[in-house]
Amino acid sequence: MDYTPAVIISRAVAENLTKASWIRRMFEEGARLKQERGADKVFDFTLGNPEIEPPPAVLAAARRVLDSDAPHLHAYMPNAGHPRVREAVATRLRQATGLPYTASHVLMTVGAGAALNTVLKALLDPGDEVITVAPFFAEYTFYAENHGGRLVVVQPRADLTPDLAKLEAAITPKTRAILVNSPNNPSGVIYPASTFVEIEKLLARTARPIVLISDEPYKALVFDDVKVPEVPPLVTRSIVATSWSKSLAIPGERIGYLAFSPRMAEAAELFEACSFTSRVLGFVNAPALWQWVVAEVGDQVIDVGPYREKRDLMYEGLTRIGYQCVKPQGAFYVFPRTPIDDDVAFVRLLADEGVLTVPGSGFGMPGHIRISLTVERDTVVRALPGFERAFRKAR
Amino acid sequence: MDYTPAVIISRAVAENLTKASWIRRMFEEGARLKQERGADKVFDFTLGNPEIEPPPAVLAAARRVLDSDAPHLHAYMPNAGHPRVREAVATRLRQATGLPYTASHVLMTVGAGAALNTVLKALLDPGDEVITVAPFFAEYTFYAENHGGRLVVVQPRADLTPDLAKLEAAITPKTRAILVNSPNNPSGVIYPASTFVEIEKLLARTARPIVLISDEPYKALVFDDVKVPEVPPLVTRSIVATSWSKSLAIPGERIGYLAFSPRMAEAAELFEACSFTSRVLGFVNAPALWQWVVAEVGDQVIDVGPYREKRDLMYEGLTRIGYQCVKPQGAFYVFPRTPIDDDVAFVRLLADEGVLTVPGSGFGMPGHIRISLTVERDTVVRALPGFERAFRKAR
Interface confidence (ipTM) of the complex: 0.96
Q: Would residue A171 count as lying in a domain?
A: yes
Say if residues A276 and A295 touch (Cβ distance below 8 Å). Answer: no
Query: In the predicted model, what is the mean pLDDT of chain A?
Result: 95
Predicted model pTM: 0.97
Q: How far does B389 lie from chain A, in Å, by closest CA?
A: 32
Closest CA to A394 of A323, A314, A326: A323
Q: Are residues B264 and B384 in the same domain?
A: no
In a domain, A4, yes or no: no
Distance CA A250, CA A54 (A): 6
Evaluate whether A146 touches A99 at the Cβ level (below 8 Å).
no
> Would residue B64 count as lying in a domain?
no
Q: Which of A114-128, B22-36, B152-166, B332-346 has the lowest mean pLDDT?
A: B22-36
Q: What is the pLDDT, as a whole number, of residue A30?
A: 84
For residues A198 and A78, state if they share a domain. yes
End-of-domain residue from the set A277, A297, A317: A297
Spatial contact of B264 and B236, defined as CB atoms under 8 Å apart: yes
HSE-CB of A381 using CA atoms within 13 angstroms: 4
CATH of the domain at B195: 3.40.640.10
pLDDT at A3: 52
Best residue in B1, B72, B137, B280 for a mutation probing chain A (most A CBs within 10 Å): B280
Helices (H) and strands (E) in chain A, counts: 13, 12
The single-letter code of the amino acid at A305 is G
Residue B31 pLDDT > 90: no
Tell which residue, B256, B269, B296, B284, has the closest CA to residue B211.
B269
Q: Are A359 and A366 in contact (CB under 8 A)?
A: yes
Which chain B residue has its CA at the smallest distance from A16's CA? B276
Q: What is the pLDDT of residues B142-166, one digit of tens each?
A: 999 999 999 999 999 999 999 999 9
CA closest to B73 among chain A residues:
A252
DSSP SS3 for B153: strand
- Parent domain of A342: 11-52+303-394
B378 and B263 assigned to the same domain:
no
> Residue B145 carries which DSSP code?
H
What is the signed CA dihedral for B322, B327, B332, B336, rounded to 10 degrees?
-40
pLDDT along chain A (395 residues), means of 10: 65 89 77 88 89 95 97 94 98 98 98 98 97 97 97 98 98 97 98 98 94 98 94 98 97 98 96 96 98 98 96 98 98 98 96 95 96 96 98 93
Pick from A116, A119, A165, A160: which is nearest to A138 by CA?
A: A116
- Give the pLDDT confidence of B197-207 residue by residue, as tens digits: 999 999 999 98
Cβ(B66)–Cβ(A63) under 8 Å? yes
Q: β-strands A43-44, A355-356: how paired?
A: parallel
Q: Is residue B58 in a domain?
A: no
Residue B317 has pLDDT above 50, yes or no: yes
pLDDT for position B142: 96
What was the pLDDT predicted at B25? 78
Measured CA to CA, the distance from residue B15 to residue B13 in angstroms comes to: 5
Residue at which a domain ends, from B258, B278, B297: B297
C-alpha closest to that of A132 among A122, A121, A120: A120
Specify whether B366 is located in the same domain as B277: no
Interface test with A, best of B237, B269, B271 (most A CBs within 10 A): B269
- Among B267, B297, B327, the domain boundary falls at B297
Q: How many domains does chain A have?
A: 2
In sequence order, which residues have a C-beta less than 8 Å from that of residue B333 and are 6 or more positions away?
A: B48, B185, B186, B187, B188, B370, B371, B372, B373
Determine phi and psi for A231, rounding to 5 degrees: -75, -45
Query: Is A70 found in the same domain as A47?
Result: no
- The string of DSSP letters for B28-50 reads HHHHHHHHHH-GGG-EE------
Q: Do A266 and A234 fall into the same domain? A: yes
- Taking an 8 Å cut-off on Cβ atoms, the answer to whether A10 and B123 are in contact is yes
Do B293 and B307 have their domain in common? no
Shortest CB distance from B281 goes to which of A59, A117, A208?
Answer: A117
Say whether both B263 and B308 belong to one domain. Answer: no
Residue A133 bridge partners (DSSP)? A154
What is the pLDDT, as a whole number, of residue A50? Answer: 80
Q: What is the pLDDT of residues A194-210, one digit of tens each?
A: 999 999 999 999 989 99
Q: What is the DSSP string of A172-204?
A: -TTEEEEEEESS-TTT-----HHHHHHHHHHHH
Q: Are residues B313 and B216 in the same domain?
A: no
B5 part of a folded domain: no
- On whether both A61 and A48 belong to a single domain, the answer is no
B228 part of a folded domain: yes
Mutate to test the interface with A, among B16, B49, B64, B66 (most CBs of A within 10 A): B66
Classified as helix, coil or strand, B357 is: coil
DSSP state letter for A47: -
Specify the DSSP class assigned to residue A110.
Answer: S
Question: Would you give the end-to-end CA distance of chain B in angstroms?
Answer: 36
How far does CA B271 lie from the centroid of its chain? 22
Rg of chain A taking only CA atoms, in angstroms: 21
**Looking at the structure, do residues B276 and B309 belong to the same domain, yes or no?**
no
- Residue B48 and residue B110 in one domain: no
A333-334/A369-372 β-pairing: antiparallel
Does residue B4 belong to any structural domain of this protein?
Answer: no
Report, as an integer, the average pLDDT of B356-375. 96
* Backbone CA torsion sign across A220, A224, A227, A228: negative
Q: Is A6 among the domain residues?
A: no
Strands A129-133 and A150-154: parallel
- How many CB atoms are located within 10 Å of the residue B274 CB? 25
Helix (H) or strand (E) holding B58: helix B56-67
Percent of chain A at pLDDT > 70 equals 98
Report the distance separating Cα B46 and Cα B119, nearest Å: 29
CA gap B321, B373 in Å, rounded: 18
Phi/psi for A261 (5° steps) reads -60, 130
CA distance B284 to chain A (A): 7
pLDDT interval class at B3 (50, 70, 90): low
Distance from CA of A44 to the nearest CA of B (A): 16
SS3 content of chain B, % helix, strand, coil (to 5): 45, 15, 40
Q: Looking at CA atoms only, how far is residue A350 from chain B in angstroms?
A: 25
Report the CATH number at residue A373: 3.90.1150.10
Could you report the per-residue pLDDT of B189-236, keeping only the tens digit for each?
999 999 999 999 999 999 899 999 999 999 999 999 899 999 999 999
Cα separation of A137 and A216, whole Å? 12
CA distance B393 to B360: 20
